[in-house]
Amino acid sequence: PEFVASPRPTCESKMPPKSEAANPMMSTIKMAIAVAGIFASFGFFAILQEDLFKKEYGADAKGKGGQKFKSTFFMMVAERGINALVAVVFLVVGGGSKCMVPVREIALSGGTQMMAMASSNEALRYVSYPTQVLGKSCKMVPVFLMGILIGGKKYDWTMYFQVAVVTAGVVVFNFGAPVKAGKGGGSDSSYGLGLIAFSLFLDGLTGGLQDKVKNTVKTLNPEKGAGAKLSMFESMLYTNLSGAVIALVLCAATGQIQEGI
């Protein structure tokens, strides 16, 4: 019989190993570790972020004469740049998917994601951190809607129900809580709430654009069909690199480079 060598795929498969698929307990443990890591990382990130924007720097022994950090775009350049650098390290060590990358689409999603975070961070100067977190917890709604409008997604009624319940719970918890006088950052201003609303809109736009990126990757790599997919570190690299470039331009335009340093 004649043996024909299979063509080498241009996109690496991301299917889990058979041993992992055959051992649901191991898969559950890995999922638990991943979820715990996400919560721990974001929790620590939130503490550092609030401290950065609420703390007064350069104050004297009596706590007077200090200034709060205002260079939001400078922080975004540093944050996105480090994220991109970490992605490069992991790509060098582990390699990528070898898929064609839709640079324009993923750069656009990276820009909207950066602006969403910048708006959210800027809002911390005008609202309390709990208000910012609770407001951003409603991001399911814009992401859900933009996924339908831009990404072409379709959802069943259970997804609509879940989004409605989670959003209603956040609203009740937010507006039902008593207002505490003298809390850090003062009372929540309308401008700060407007920044959160703008951030939510950009979150939804980012979600829809990321869905579009996934569809474009499949179009650019037809030999893999539905299996064409960028690795997580490739997505991390291009998304953060584009966000860092846009943040750097805005940072230079607003004079925040020298101020941030």
Average predicted confidence (pLDDT) for the chain = 80
Buried b (16+ CB within 10 A) or exposed e, 45-71: eeeebbeebeeeeeeeeeeeeeeebeb
Residue 93: the pLDDT is 93
The closest alpha carbon to 243, from 93, 113, 123, belongs to 113
Tell whether the torsion through CA atoms of 123, 238, 227 and 13 is positive or negative: negative
Give me 256's structure tokens.
Answer: 């925040």
> DSSP assignment of 72-101, as one string?
HHHHHHHHHHHHHHHHHHHHHHH----PPP
Q: Model pTM greater than 0.75?
A: no
Question: Are 114 and 243 spatial neighbours (Cβ–Cβ below 8 Å)?
Answer: yes
The closest alpha carbon to 211, from 117, 112, 132, 114, belongs to 112
The size of the chain, in residues, is 261
Condensed to tens digits (0 to 9), the pLDDT of residues 131-180 reads 777 777 777 788 888 877 776 777 888 888 888 887 787 777 666 655 55
As a whole-number percent, the residues of the chain with pLDDT over 90 amount to 24
Beta-bridge partner residues of 68: 56
Cα–Cα distance, 251 to 206 (Å, whole number): 21
The closest alpha carbon to 54, from 139, 146, 126, 150, belongs to 126
Residue 6: the pLDDT is 43
Condensed to tens digits (0 to 9), the pLDDT of residues 6-41 reads 444 445 444 555 555 557 888 899 999 999 999 899
Longest dimension (CA), the chain: 88
∠ CA 24-35-177 to the nearest 5 degrees? Answer: 135
Other CB atoms within a 10 A radius of the CB of residue 127 amount to 23
